[in-house]
Amino acid sequence: MSVVAAPEGQIWVGTLGAGLRILDAGSVLPKLLVARKAPLALATVRSVHLDRRGDLWLGTNRQVFWVSRQDRLRAQNLAAHPLPQACRDIHDLRLDTFGRLWVGTDYGLYLWQAGTVTGTTPPVQLTKPTLFLPVGGDPFSLQSERVHQLFEDQDQVLWMAASAGGLNKVDLRQKPFGQLQHQLTAKATLPNNYVNAVYKEEAKNLLWIGTRNGFSCYDLTHKTYHNYLSWQQSSDSTGVDVSSVVQASDGTLWLGTRTHGLYTLKRQNGREKLTPFAALSNQPDQVTTSVETIVEDRFGTMWVGTFNAGLARFSRSGKHLRTYSVSTGLPTDHFTYLLYDQKHNLLWASTRDAGLLKLRVTADSLILLKQFTHDERNSNSLSVNYVWPLLQDRQGTLWIGTIGGGLHQLRTDSQGREHMQRCSQWLPESDVESLLIDEDGHLWIGGTGLYCVTPSTHRYLRYDVADGLQSNAFKVGAACRAQDGTLYFGASTALATFSRVLSGLTPTHPLCALQAFEWPTKQWPLATLLTGACC
């Protein structure tokens, strides 16, 4: 038996063999409750659900029926809108906060996607629903095909009683993550699933992806790949390990690698020219070691950060200008990430062993303004000296990711004083490997999984493989945000994508289903409703 109470005072009761019944309780329970038979020519109604809009959903032995709020109030046309797909032996159904219909049966869990709300037709997509069944050895699948009860809690988690499979749950807030991944196919595909870098070329709707087996140009319009510097035999084959991709203001693509120095890719009149760095410069101190990061400054020069050979500067034509290192007065040769602040003409440089450097760029020099390092006596210093991704938000706050020390933020007050703050007290991730910000101001952090953080409240959601991600390992610096709001994160097994950012982190409260009647001096056993009256 299934029972729901409507706010207008009606109580709807689904029974096995006595059809659908209605109790007109009103605002005060009378001494005698009479359950009249609803105008529905079905002997068995296994499940009754009242959604947030006031629509009624009925589950029978073989089908789901939708009843609009208007028809429910009039108790008419109860069977006018059956969903076209059959579902055998329905036990329970729920319309979740996001408008999706979940139906538990003896033969699996069905899901209809949200549709258009008209008030005259079922507000779900009437295409074939998704059927979820147990998958042997998969801990993230249903643990039993028999789903006999559904409940959504205040945190938007759907709980499922799955018979011998115990209690299962689905986080309804999880995002519809997409992915780009190497495929075993005759067509060109992503050359390797280990993604090091990603860059969106907006003008041509192209996605440039650096991997351990060369780099790829993915045409987002036609969904086709064109690969460079890669071995095509297998995703396990290793071509050139491409670690960074950036486009200069003249349209030239600059590509850094971990074993083959620099490349540039120029395109003109429909022709491409891929040039290794050795052909651009014969200077004795040219960069030939691991290139981790590349940025362009306001003077039209390119800065190349290397993991063990300092910080190099080039003209856009590829001429090497100078390398800055320990020998020229910098505190380290080991650079991991560069962020150029165009407004203030500042170059922020992350390092492997010397913390964060604040540098001033001129047309022909580089000036070290300040160094931020770990100080064990100062809780407002960096937690560690191994710094990697950097992000500056609209308020000018600099967000700093470290390896082993978590997230930090650097604020500048109205007097120009800088204040470092550790975020480890409210964000548990110690390895912050990539940082993005969405259009609503949420921080997205790649580490062991993906975090969506609201900076003003310190609240966060964490996503992992259970939410549709292919991996929990996100790689350092491999992230970008497109102009349309799509976020891209490189991982060790794929490129994760999603097209809509999270619009809010405030859960709504679920409706309560009636479970029993109680009165100060009396109780009414629900089983007696089968007879049509209780007292």
- Pick 498 or 397 by higher pLDDT: 397
Question: For residue 111, is pLDDT > 90?
Answer: yes
Q: Which residues contact 500 (CB under 8 A, 6 or more apart)?
A: 175, 176, 485
Question: For residue 37, is pLDDT > 90?
Answer: no
User: What pTM did the predictor assign?
Assistant: 0.64
Selection from 218, 236, 235, 483 nearest residue 227 by Cα: 218
Q: Return the pLDDT at 261.
A: 87
Q: Return the pLDDT at 287.
A: 45
Q: How many whole angstroms separate alpha carbon 288 and alpha carbon 262?
A: 7
Q: If you average pLDDT over residues 167-172, what whole number do you get?
A: 84
- Confidence label for 403 from pLDDT (cuts 50, 70 and 90): very high
pLDDT tens-digit series, residues 337-379: 999 999 999 999 999 999 999 999 999 999 999 999 999 999 9
Q: How far is CA 493 from CA 88, 211, 232, 244, 303, in A?
A: 39, 11, 17, 18, 30
Token pair in block for residue 267: 């395109």
pLDDT tens-digit series, residues 159-168: 999 887 788 8
Q: How many whole angstroms separate alpha carbon 101 and alpha carbon 235?
A: 40
7 exposure class (CB count in 10 Å sphere: 0-12, 13-18, 19+): exposed
Q: How far is CA 240 from CA 63, 253, 262, in A?
A: 57, 16, 11
Element (H, E) at 74: helix 69-74
Contact status, residue 495 vs residue 504, Cβ threshold 8 Å: no
DSSP string covering 435-468: EEE-TTS-EEEEEBEEEEEETTTTEEEEE-GGGT
Residue 70 DSSP SS3:
helix
| E runs forming strands in 280-385 | 291-296, 301-306, 311-315, 320-324, 335-341, 346-351, 356-361, 366-372
Q: Return the pLDDT at 236.
A: 45
Quick count: other Cβ atoms within 10 Å of Cβ 513? 15
- Confidence label for 270 from pLDDT (cuts 50, 70 and 90): confident
Q: Which span out of 286-300, 423-437, 503-517 was modeled with the highest average pLDDT?
A: 423-437
Q: Which of 52-66, 83-97, 266-280, 382-396 bottoms out in mean pLDDT, i.e. has the lowest?
A: 266-280
Parallel, antiparallel, or unpaired: how do β-strands 206-211 and 195-201 relate?
Answer: antiparallel
Q: Return the pLDDT at 510.
A: 36
Could you give phi then psi for residue 196, rounded to 5 degrees? -95, -30
Question: For residue 62, is pLDDT > 70?
Answer: yes
Q: Return the pLDDT at 26.
A: 62
% of the chain with per-residue pLDDT over 70: 84
pLDDT tens-digit series, residues 429-441: 999 999 999 888 9
- Confidence label for 281 from pLDDT (cuts 50, 70 and 90): very low
Question: For residue 123, is pLDDT > 70?
Answer: yes
Token pair in block for residue 227: 């690969």
Question: For residue 175, is pLDDT > 60?
Answer: no
In the block, tokens 């789903």 appear at 147
Contact status, residue 492 vs residue 193, Cβ threshold 8 Å: yes
Question: For residue 54, is pLDDT > 70?
Answer: yes
Question: For residue 30, is pLDDT > 60?
Answer: no
What does pLDDT average to over the chain?
85
pLDDT tens-digit series, residues 239-258: 899 999 999 999 999 999 98
- Confidence label for 501 from pLDDT (cuts 50, 70 and 90): very low
In the block, tokens 């689905």 appear at 170
Residue 336 DSSP SS3:
strand
Q: How many whole angstroms separate alpha carbon 288 and alpha carbon 309?
A: 8
75 exposure class (CB count in 10 Å sphere: 0-12, 13-18, 19+): middle
Selection from 331, 292, 108 nearest residue 312 by Cα: 292
Question: For residue 486, is pLDDT > 90?
Answer: no
Residue 277 DSSP SS3:
helix
Q: How far is CA 307 from CA 40, 81, 269, 303, 338, in A?
A: 73, 65, 36, 13, 12
% of the chain with per-residue pLDDT over 90: 58
Q: Which span out of 12-21, 32-41, 180-189 was modeled with the highest average pLDDT?
A: 12-21
With left for phi above 0 and alpha for psi between -120 and 50, is residue 40 left, alpha or beta?
beta
Selection from 424, 431, 402, 262 nearest residue 336 by Cα: 402
Q: Return the pLDDT at 34.
A: 66
Q: If you average pLDDT over residues 174-187, what whole number do you get?
A: 65
